[in-house]
Every structure is written in structure tokens, then in C-alpha cells.
């Protein structure tokens, strides 16, 4: 075996290995297919070259080999452009696919025109086409390097691959012709190097794994119709996540990209958590692009740009914000960017992009503002007692806690009514009801309403002010201090029943306590007699006993949601029971 | 003003073009006056057009309701999932125990929860009286006020079915009360249904739009006829 054949044979083996590697490791089927086709065509041309040189193959028609050679060049160009543009290639550079069109014609003309593999790069139509393919690929890598700082490194490696193909293709063939060794022409010696460069870029820009995969063909519009990238300006991404849940529940394909795995329990929400590498920003972009390409009209939340900034640099984050906007507009989708934890300078730079900017209220601030309308300056203390009772920090409070807060205040008022009676207790009750009504109204507002600025803290002077003043006049005095003391007492005392009750109330709202009491009654127990074994028994039977809560609903998503709530109750009761051991 | 069409021949004309969207309506009448059929017709007809509706039944089971309405030609399958029936009647049977269930809270839990995945625009509560009994209203007027206030926050058009005594308004005299706890003052609209004597032996179902805020409607009784679907016509002397 001569040296040339040996080198090409090693290359063929490398091509095969890269093909298998990409098939196993890649996450973009379309790109993997293009890579496989390109690698396979290089591999077959290489194998033909070795077989011919070593006399292992019967003579193969020249136009067949030329056809394969043309295919390698056209596919290499499409692959390079696919790596740069991803799923957007058919939209942005659809003309690239026309490179496949002349291949059968040129292969057919080859014997008529006297074109051979050895003279493929000569100054004729065939040579022009081959050089044009490599030229287009090289030109696009140079453009990508200049246009996208985030993609610059990858564009460099793509350039290396394409230049290697040029050197080992046209240039090497001219040299062989110059020294009169044309029989050695045919296989591109740099194919493994080029494929390795392409595979490197493909893997480094691969999307993050997402789960579960969105169902195909779901196109429900959802509540937010804007086909754009929107910034939800909030300290923590609470409304962004809540909106994602709502959009998913309405049947819209929804993806959350975050640093940590998403804690949302709704199975309809697809999630991806980004890996800690410096390509995280680019991979986030490809993740979102791939998702929206397969689910146009979808809803995406980018939860942690601050972390992306730490991993890939702030310029990369700004670039993906701009590019996500294009992706959203192209696919009729909504992308929500959460700027929590960004620095002031980063926020200013993000604002300069002129993305739609939706200010979101902070739940804790608004809840305190609502409570202040009824309970004055003691609102903050009441809310702190509630947070203490539930083991949450103020900043962790969301509108989901409103039910539990109402329940907490009711218990505090009940305890207080045992001490103070008459008009004072009635006055407190009236004020509580006024606050509860505004709390419910606030909690029911979605991101769209909140973005319009309907915040209790902003319009506290407008809402139910007459009712508040009238009620306050009822009982000005020391009872308020007693209410705070009662709230503190409630927060300190956490018997087993209270814990179980909170679990039920958290999942089923005000109805939860009644459902728990029914379960207790079935066991023949009173609340104060509740024991760990009872909780275990309630948990064991929850799926059956509480199953009827889901059975009476004929909306599949709602049925599933209630089943999840029941499962959540079951798991939390088990945890409480274990904690009491 | 956006209006919800009842899609019932003659009724939209009586209503001056439909029911203002977001209204709370009281549908009151004696047993057998087709309160259920009337409201189910409105839900079914709108569901066929893609407007989602939720029927909350506290008395009749889902199977019984579907059986009854399909007998009238309202096939649930035709609505393509735009009409949902919440069978609280069955839950009532299954959750019986020594302790009372907070039915008002359960009603709110479901109607609010379902909204998240099934954005209904029409709601029927069948019936207000059953909810009052189950939820054990301690201060009925105050509790009714609170319920209607809560329903308004749902921002959907709600029909509350209320029972009246069998002989109410059937003798030709005009009724002045259409509910037990003055909820007619709280509701935006009232449909009164009655069985009126016709001739020596006959009875005729009749409907009157007593009140409909924000619309110019006819105020007299109309005949409610069922033949190949419900329709409203003038009463022929």
C-alpha cells in the first residue's frame, strides 16, 4: 500500500468515527443528518480512492465518483451554513439548498465534457461549482466572525475546516498536476480535519437537553400575544414563572431556560437548565431557536441572564437578547427575559436595546401595601409573622401565598375574638374582609394587568378607602396591638394538625381545611388527637379518598392539575410524618 | 358594548341584541319551566362557535344532565370540548361524612381553578338555592352579595338559576320578587320563566326579561316554545 492510500485510509477511519460520534452526541437531528450525509460522502470517496489505487475495486464510472465529489462540496457548504444559522437556515439562506440542484446535471455532463476526478478543479463549469461551494462556506464564516462576537471563536474553527478543504482540494490538485502525479488526486486528505472542526462547533453550540418534549402541532395563542422579546422587570422571576405556568396550562408550548432545574410542577412546562461552560449563552440561543422552530408561537422564559453573563460575558447576553427578539418575531413567539440580579450598568445596556419593558410588582411590597390599608403601620409586622409561620423570607413571597395569608389572618382574628368582643372584633373582621378582597383581586391579576401598573401600592388611595376609614373608626385603639400579638402566637405554634392543614390549604385553598377535617372524621379523630400514623394513613389513602376531587372535572388539564395537587398533598403529608419521627 | 348572543330564535331580538358581556343574570322560575334547558342551550350554542362555557351542577349528576340535554338535541360531543360540566352533585355524594364540606369554597376553588386551563366566558350555576343550602349561608343577603361580588371578579357572563314556588306569577299577575334574598337587585339581568294557563286545560311556558342593565329590551312575557330547539315567540291571544 502506498503512502497516499495509507493516509486516505486513516482519514476514512476518522470520518467513520466522527460520523458515529456525532450521531451519538448531537441533539439537532437536522444538523446531524447533514453532517452524516457530508461525512458519508467523504468516506465513500476516500474508500473509492484507496480501492482504486490498491486495485481492490473494479473500475467505477467517473461520473459516479464525480457526483459524490460534487456532493461532498455542496453538503460541506450547507453544513457550515447550518452550523452558523441553525434551524433558521431555511429562512435566512434558503438559496444555499440550490447548491444541490446542479449536481446530477454536472455528473451527467462529465463523460461528455471529458471531466475527470483528476481535473475536477480546472477552469471549467465543474471546477467553478466546486470552488464556489467552498467559497460560499468560507465567505459565510468570515461574515459570522465579524457579525457575531459571541460566535467568533466557532466561526474561526469553521474557517479552519473550510480552508483545510480548500488546501487539500483545489490547491493540492493543482500541485499534483504541476508535478505530474494526477493519479493521486481524488480524495480530500483534509476531510477528517474539516469534519473534526465542524463536529467541534456542532457540539459546542448544541442545545441543552429539554424535558419533556413539547407536543407537535400545539398552537394555542395563550394570554400574551406579543411576538417579541419582552423584559419582565422584577426582582425575582415570579411573574415570569407564573405566566409560563398559565401559558402552558392554556395549551401553549412553553419553555423555561434557567440555571437550576425548574421547580414548577406543571408537567406541560418544558424546561432546560444550562450547563456551566463558556458557550452557555450561545447554547441557550440554539436551545430557544430549536424549541421555537419545532413549536412556533411558543412561550419562552429566559430566567437567569445574570448567570449567563457570568459564564459567557455580558456582550454575549446582549447579543442573544437581540437575536432572541428576531427568533421570536420570525416564529410568532414570545420570549420573556428576566433581568433580576443584573447590575445597574447591565440594566442600562439592556434598556438601550429598546425591548418592550414590563415593570412587575413585588408581591411582598404589594401585600404589605394592601394590609396597610386595613391595619396601618402594623402591616409589615403582620406579614413578617406570616412569613415566620411559613418559614419563608419576605422576598420569596408570591401571589400564591395569598390563600395561606388569608387563612393565617383568619386564625389570628379567631384567637383574638376570644379575647376582645363586640364592635372591636367586628371592626377587625370588616377590615380583614376588606383586605382579603383586595388581596384576592391582586393575586388574580396576571402579568399583563400588572404591567399596566395596577399595583395596590400605587393606587392605595383609590381602593375601598371609604370602607377602610369606616371600619377603622370602629375600633381605633389597643385591639390592633392584640391582633399582632395573636398573629405572633399563631406563627409560634405549629402542632401537627396545623402543619397538615397548611398543606391542604396551600393546595386546595380555603376548601382544604374542610377536606382535611373530613379525612380526620373518617378516622374518628379530632384535630388535637392527630398523630403521625394518622398522617401516614391519610397520605396512603389520599389518591383514592381525594381522587373524587379530580373525577368530577371533564377538562383534562384541570383533572391532571388536581391530581398533581393530590399527589403533592400526599408527598408533603409523608414528609411531615417522617419529620415527626 | 360586547354582547353574548343567546343564539335562541327570538330571544336576542327581545334582548336588543344579546346579553352584555360580563353580566350576572338571575334565571328564576318554578320547577319545569326549562331553566336548565334555556341556559344549557345558550352554553351549547356558544360552544359550537368556540365560546367556552362551564355548567356547574350541584343537583343533577353529569350523566343525568347529559342524558336530559341530549334528549333535547344538544349533543355534548358536538361542542369540541368547549362546554364543560362540573359535576359537584357527584362530589356531594362522595364527600359525605360526619363533617360539613365548605361547599362555597369548593365551588370557588373549582370555578377559579378551571379558568386556568379552560378559559370559559359563560358560567351557569345550577342552582343558587342548592349552593345556599349546602354552604349553609348564615347571613344569606350578605353571603349572596359576597358571592355575586366574587363572580364579577371572574369577568365572565354568569347565569344563576333560582327556584320560585310553582304557582308564582302563573295567574297573570305581575311578580314583584324574583329571588328569596333580594339578589335581583344585585344581578345585572333577570329572566323570569313561568308556566301560564292557556285556555281551559293548557299550559304554556313563558319567559320575561325583567331586567337587563345596559340594554333596551322588551319587558313583556314571551312564549318559550320547544320544537326542534328552543325559541321565543310572541304570545298569541
Predicted ipTM of the assembly: 0.81
Question: Can you say whether residue A222 is alpha, beta or left, with left for phi > 0 and alpha for psi between -120 and 50 degrees?
Answer: left
User: Could B109 and A558 be called an inter-chain contact, meaning their C-beta atoms sit closer than 8 Å?
Assistant: no
> Which positions in chain A touch B81 (Cβ < 8 Å)?
555
> What are the backbone dihedrals phi and psi of residue A520, each rounded to the nearest 5 degrees, phi first?
-65, -45
Residue A141 has pLDDT above 90, yes or no: yes
Model pLDDT, residue B215: 87
Residue A403 near residue B112, CB atoms below 8 Å: no
Judged by CB atoms within 8 Å, which residues 175-234 of B form the interface with A?
Answer: none
Task: Name the residue facing B99 among A510, A511, A517 (closest C-beta).
Answer: A517
Q: What is the mean pLDDT of the segment spanning A55-67?
A: 78
Residue B94 has pLDDT above 60, yes or no: yes
Instruction: Please name the residue that has the C-alpha cell 339578589.
Output: B183
Model pLDDT, residue B54: 94
User: Could A552 and B90 be called an inter-chain contact, meaning their C-beta atoms sit closer than 8 Å?
Assistant: yes
Q: Which chain A residue's Cα is nearest to B107? A: A511
Q: Is the peptide bond before A212 cis (omega within 30 degrees of 0)?
A: yes
pLDDT band, very low/low/confident/very high, at B125 (cuts 50, 70, 90) = very high
Judged by average pLDDT, the poorest of A115-129, A483-497, A500-514 is A483-497
Q: Does B139 touch chain A (CB under 8 A)?
A: no
Let me know if A313 is exposed, middle or buried by CB neighbors in 10 A (0-12, 13-18, 19+). Answer: middle
Model pLDDT, residue A491: 58
> Which positions in chain A touch B79 (Cβ < 8 Å)?
none
Residue A534 has pLDDT above 60, yes or no: yes
Model pLDDT, residue A263: 60
Q: Which chain B residue's Cα is nearest to A434? A: B146
Model pLDDT, residue A465: 46
pLDDT, tens digit (0-9, with 9 covering 90-100), for A6-49: 888 898 899 999 999 999 988 888 889 999 999 999 898 888 88
Q: Tell whether the torsion through CA atoms of A572, A573, A578 and A579 is positive or negative.
A: positive
pLDDT, tens digit (0-9, with 9 covering 90-100), for A196-234: 999 999 998 899 988 877 666 555 666 777 888 999 988
pLDDT band, very low/low/confident/very high, at A467 (cuts 50, 70, 90) = very low
pLDDT, tens digit (0-9, with 9 covering 90-100), for A387-420: 877 767 787 888 888 888 888 888 877 777 766 6
Which element (helix H / strand E) includes A40? Answer: helix A29-53
Q: Does B38 touch chain A (CB under 8 A)?
A: no
Q: Tell whether the torsion through CA atoms of B118, B124, B125 and B128 is positive or negative.
A: positive
For residue A366, the Cα-to-chain-centroid distance in whole angstroms is 28
Q: Is the peptide bond before B127 cis (omega within 30 degrees of 0)?
A: yes
> Which positions in chain B touch A250 (Cβ < 8 Å)?
116-117, 119
User: Could A511 and B116 be called an inter-chain contact, meaning their C-beta atoms sit closer than 8 Å?
Assistant: no
pLDDT band, very low/low/confident/very high, at A168 (cuts 50, 70, 90) = confident
pLDDT, tens digit (0-9, with 9 covering 90-100), for A444-466: 888 888 888 778 777 654 444 44
User: B97: which DSSP letter?
Assistant: S
Q: Which chain B residue's Cα is nearest to A514? A: B101
A-B CB pairs within 8 A amount to 83
Residue A488 has pLDDT above 70, yes or no: no
User: B25: which DSSP letter?
Assistant: E
Residue B123 has pLDDT above 90, yes or no: yes
Residue A471 has pLDDT above 60, yes or no: no
Model pLDDT, residue A345: 87
Model pLDDT, residue A1: 67
Select, from the ranges A267-271, A543-547, B171-175, B181-185, the one with the highest average predicted confidence (pLDDT): A267-271
High-pLDDT (> 70) share of chain A, %:
87
User: Could B118 and A555 be called an inter-chain contact, meaning their C-beta atoms sit closer than 8 Å?
Assistant: yes
User: Could A440 and B153 be called an inter-chain contact, meaning their C-beta atoms sit closer than 8 Å?
Assistant: yes
Residue A381: CB partners within 8 Å, gap ≥ 6?
A484, A487
pLDDT, tens digit (0-9, with 9 covering 90-100), for B185-234: 788 999 999 888 877 778 888 999 998 998 888 888 899 988 878 899 98
Residue A339: CB partners within 8 Å, gap ≥ 6?
A231, A232, A233, A305, A306, A346, A347, A350
Longest dimension (CA), chain B: 55
**Nearest one of B186, B168, B163, B183 to B58, comparing CA atoms:** B163
Model pLDDT, residue A123: 75
Residue B18 has pLDDT above 70, yes or no: yes
Distance CA A128, CA A395 (A): 65
Residue A335 has pLDDT above 80, yes or no: yes
Angstroms from B189 CA to nearest CA on chain A: 24
Model pLDDT, residue A463: 46
High-pLDDT (> 90) share of chain A, %:
20
Model pLDDT, residue A164: 92
Amino acid at each position: 500500500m502506498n503512502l497516499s492510500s495509507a493516509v486516505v485510509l486513516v482519514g476514512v477511519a476518522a470520518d467513520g468515527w466522527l460520523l458515529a460520534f456525532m450521531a451519538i452526541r448531537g441533539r439537532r437531528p437536522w444538523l446531524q443528518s447533514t453532517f452524516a450525509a457530508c461525512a458519508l460522502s467523504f468516506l465513500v470517496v476516500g474508500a473509492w480512492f484507496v480501492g482504486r489505487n490498491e486495485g481492490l475495486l473494479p473500475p467505477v464510472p467517473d461520473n459516479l465518483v464525480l457526483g459524490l465529489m460534487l456532493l461532498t462540496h455542496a453538503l460541506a457548504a450547507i453544513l457550515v451554513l447550518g452550523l452558523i444559522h441553525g434551524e433558521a437556515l431555511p429562512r435566512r439562506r434558503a438559496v444555499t439548498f440550490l447548491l444541490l440542484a446542479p449536481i446530477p446535471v454536472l455528473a451527467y455532463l462529465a463523460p461528455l465534457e471529458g471531466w475527470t476526478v483528476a481535473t475536477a478543479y480546472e477552469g471549467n463549469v465543474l471546477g467553478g461549482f466546486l470552488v464556489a461551494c467552498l467559497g460560499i462556506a468560507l465567505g459565510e464564516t468570515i461574515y459570522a466572525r465579524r457579525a457575531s462576537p459571541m460566535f467568533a471563536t466557532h466561526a474561526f474553527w469553521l474557517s479552519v475546516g473550510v480552508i483545510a478543504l480548500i488546501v487539500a482540494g483545489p490547491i493540492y490538485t493543482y500541485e499534483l498536476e504541476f508535478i505530474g502525479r494526477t493519479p493521486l488526486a481524488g480524495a480530500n486528505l483534509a476531510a477528517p480535519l474539516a469534519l473534526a472542526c465542524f463536529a467541534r462547533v456542532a457540539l459546542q453550540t448544541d442545545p441543552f437537553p429539554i424535558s419533556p418534549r413539547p407536543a407537535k402541532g400545539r398552537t394555542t395563542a395563550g394570554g400574551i400575544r406579543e411576538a417579541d422579546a419582552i423584559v419582565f422587570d422584577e426582582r425575582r422571576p415570579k411573574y415570569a414563572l407564573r405566566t409560563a405556568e398559565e401559558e402552558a396550562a392554556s395549551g401553549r408550548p412553553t419553555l423555561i431556560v434557567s440555571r437550576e432545574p425548574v421547580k414548577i410542577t406543571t408537567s406541560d412546562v418544558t424546561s432546560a437548565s444550562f450547563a456551566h461552560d463558556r458557550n452557555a449563552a450561545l447554547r441557550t440561543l440554539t436551545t430557544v431557536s430549536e424549541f421555537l422552530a419545532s413549536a412556533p408561537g411558543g412561550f419562552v422564559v429566559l430566567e437567569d441572564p445574570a448567570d449567563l453573563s457570568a459564564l459567557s460575558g455580558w456582550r454575549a447576553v446582549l447579543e442573544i437578547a437581540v437575536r432572541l427578539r428576531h427568533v421570536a418575531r420570525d416564529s410568532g413567539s414570545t420570549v420573556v427575559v428576566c433581568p433580576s440580579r443584573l447590575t445597574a450598568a447591565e440594566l442600562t445596556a439592556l434598556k438601550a436595546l429598546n425591548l418592550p419593558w414590563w415593570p412587575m410588582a413585588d408581591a411582598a411590597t404589594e401585600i404589605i401595601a394592601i394590609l396597610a390599608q386595613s391595619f396601618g403601620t402594623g402591616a409589615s409586622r403582620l406579614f413578617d409573622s406570616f412569613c415566620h409561620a411559613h418559614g419563608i423570607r419576605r422576598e420569596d413571597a408570591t401571589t400564591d401565598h395569598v390563600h395561606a395569608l388569608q387563612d393565617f389572618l383568619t386564625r389570628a382574628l379567631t384567637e383574638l375574638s376570644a379575647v376582645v368582643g363586640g364592635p372591636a372584633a367586628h371592626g377587625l373582621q370588616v377590615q380583614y374582609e376588606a383586605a382579603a378582597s383586595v388581596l384576592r383581586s391582586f393575586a388574580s391579576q396576571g402579568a399583563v394587568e400588572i404591567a399596566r401598573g395596577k399595583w395596590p401600592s400605587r393606587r392605595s388611595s383609590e381602593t375601598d378607602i371609604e370602607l377602610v376609614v369606616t371600619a377603622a373608626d370602629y375600633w381605633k385603639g389597643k385591639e390592633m396591638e392584640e391582633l399582632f400579638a395573636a398573629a405572633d402566637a399563631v406563627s409560634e405554634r405549629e402542632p401537627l394538625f396545623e402543619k397538615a392543614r397548611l398543606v391542604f390549604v396551600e393546595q386546595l385553598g380555603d376548601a382544604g381545611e374542610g377536606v382535611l377535617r373530613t379525612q380526620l372524621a373518617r378516622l374518628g379523630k379530632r384535630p388535637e388527637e392527630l398523630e403521625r400514623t394518622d398522617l401516614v394513613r391519610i397520605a396512603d389513602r389520599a389518591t383514592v379518598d381525594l381522587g373524587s376531587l379530580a373525577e368530577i372535572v371533564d377538562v383534562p388539564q384541570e383533572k391532571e392539575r388536581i391530581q398533581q395537587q393530590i399527589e403533592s398533598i400526599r408527598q408533603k403529608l409523608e414528609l411531615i410524618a417522617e419529620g415527626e419521627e | 358594548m360586547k354582547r353574548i348572543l343567546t343564539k335562541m330564535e327570538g330571544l336576542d331580538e327581545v334582548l336588543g341584541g344579546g346579553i352584555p358581556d360580563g353580566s350576572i343574570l338571575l334565571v328564576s322560575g318554578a320547577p319545569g319551566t326549562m331553566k336548565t334547558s334555556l341556559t344549557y342551550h345558550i352554553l351549547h350554542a356558544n360552544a359550537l362557535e368556540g365560546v367556552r362555557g362551564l355548567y356547574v351542577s350541584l343537583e343533577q349528576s353529569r350523566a343525568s344532565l347529559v342524558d336530559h340535554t341530549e334528549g333535547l338535541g344538544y349533543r355534548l360531543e358536538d361542542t369540541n370540548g368547549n362546554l364543560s360540566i362540573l359535576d359537584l352533585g357527584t362530589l356531594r355524594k362522595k364527600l359525605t361524612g360526619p363533617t360539613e364540606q365548605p361547599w362555597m369554597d369548593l365551588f370557588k376553588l373549582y370555578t377559579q381553578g378551571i379558568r386556568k386551563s379552560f378559559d370559559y366566558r359563560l358560567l351557569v350555576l345550577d342552582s343558587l338555592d342548592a349552593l345556599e343550602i349546602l354552604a349553609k349561608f348564615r347571613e344569606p343577603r350578605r353571603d349572596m352579595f359576597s358571592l355575586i361580588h366574587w363572580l364579577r371578579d371572574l369577568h365572565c357572563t354568569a347565569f344563576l338559576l333560582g327556584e320560585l314556588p310553582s304557582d308564582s306569577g302563573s295567574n297573570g299577575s305581575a311578580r314583584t320578587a324574583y329571588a328569596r334574598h333580594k339578589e335581583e337587585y344585585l344581578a345585572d339581568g333577570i329572566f323570569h320563566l313561568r308556566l301560564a294557563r292557556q285556555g281551559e286545560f293548557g299550559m304554556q311556558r313563558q319567559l320575561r326579561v325583567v331586567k337587563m342593565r345596559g340594554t333596551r329590551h322588551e319587558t313583556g312575557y314571551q312564549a318559550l316554545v320547544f320544537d326542534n330547539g328552543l325559541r321565543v315567540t310572541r304570545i298569541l291571544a
